[in-house]
Structure 1
Amino acid sequence: MFGFFEKLLAGASRDQVAVQDDKPHQLAAAALLVEAATADGEFAASERDRISRLLVDRFGLGPFEAATLLEQAEKRAKEGSDWQGFTRVLKEAYGPEGRIAIVEMLWEVVLADGSLDDFEAALMRQLPSLLYVSDRENAEARARVRARLEAKDG
């Protein structure tokens, strides 16, 4: 595995190296968010914007860092879904509250368009359990996100 300086010499930017090496949980979370956004076969600009905002809010990233992370996450998602790997990284990085926060981020992405299609529903049955989030906690996370989204719209 390349170290930080080897990756810089190989042409990766400092921000890309920092995201990949220093914060693997951010890349894992972003990749799962991309999976959630594309579960219905589309990746709308509004979904991309929502993911960027979630990355900025949750991880305290700047807009450029969030865009870089999102770009990397899209590449990882296109390479093939590694839900087990992504969720393993997140389980190691976060306790129960942090994993529930990730599930809320996922719900915010899949509910952003106001509907939940079959592929999104299937994804949201599988990912929380892989993150060791119970069905009850998953349902509560979904309800909190719906309430926030309705409050914004209302």
Structure 2
Amino acid sequence: MSLIARLRAYAADALGVGAPDAAPDDAHLAAIALLVHVARVDGILAPSESVRLARLVQGRYASSPEAAEALIARAAAFDAETRDVASLVEMIPHATDAGERGRLLAMAWAVAGADGTVDEFEEALVWRLGKLLGFDEAAIARARGAGLSERYPEPDAGAGPA
């Protein structure tokens, strides 16, 4: 049984968040865990960050507020078991198109700025996440603008690996 399967089973049993059959794929769980990591990086999970995180997860990965909360709980447990963001990014397939990676990056900026400010820890983490996702400086800056204004356009892939 893989680490992912064990974590899913643990989350399903311990947190009562549903059967592993209803589990998102590894890439989606990793993406949500990245968003959770961003929300908690400054040591304070502000209510506004929780609300924004739940709304983004529901809009992209879940069909209801309850399903979003369950996914966030699973992703939080998964994030706690993962050593760093690079490990989470490695779980997102290299074949994932730039548009999807760009939306994830914009969502990370949206979570970071949900409390009205992006502190230095959040800034450094999301900027590093952009680099790990293969974006150049200009593309990361565009994703920042999109995320902080809550626009999630299709970023152009001119954002190839830096």
Cα RMSD for the two superposed structures? 2.7
> Residue 19 of structure 1 contacts residue 69 of structure 1 at CA under 8 Å; is this kept in 2?
no
Whole-Å separation in 2 of the counterparts to 1:11 and 1:33: 23
Aligned to 1:66: 68
> Residue 91 of structure 1 contacts residue 131 of structure 1 at CA under 8 Å; is this kept in 2?
no
Q: Which aligned pairs between 1:15-94 and structure 2 lie closer than 5 A?
A: 15-18=18-21, 20=23, 22-92=24-94, 94=96
What is the CA distance between 1:47 and its match in structure 2? 1.3
* Amino acid corresponding to residue 125 of structure 2 in structure 1: L
What is the CA distance between 1:108 and its match in structure 2? 0.2
What is the CA distance between 1:93 and its match in structure 2? 6.0
> Residue 31 of structure 1 contacts residue 73 of structure 1 at CA under 8 Å; is this kept in 2?
yes
Whole-Å separation in 1 of the counterparts to 2:13 and 2:121: 37
Say if 1:124 and 1:41 are closer, same or farther in 2 by CA, change over 3 A: same
Structure 2 runs not aligned, ≥5 long: 152-162
Q: Which has the higher helix share?
A: 1
Structure 1, 84-93 or 118-127: larger mean CA deviation: 84-93
Per the normalisation by structure 1, the TM-score is 0.80
Per the normalisation by structure 2, the TM-score is 0.76
The count of corresponding residues between Structure 1 and Structure 2 is 145
Percent identical pairs in the alignment equals 31
What is the CA distance between 1:148 and its match in structure 2? 3.5
Give SS of 2:146's match.
helix
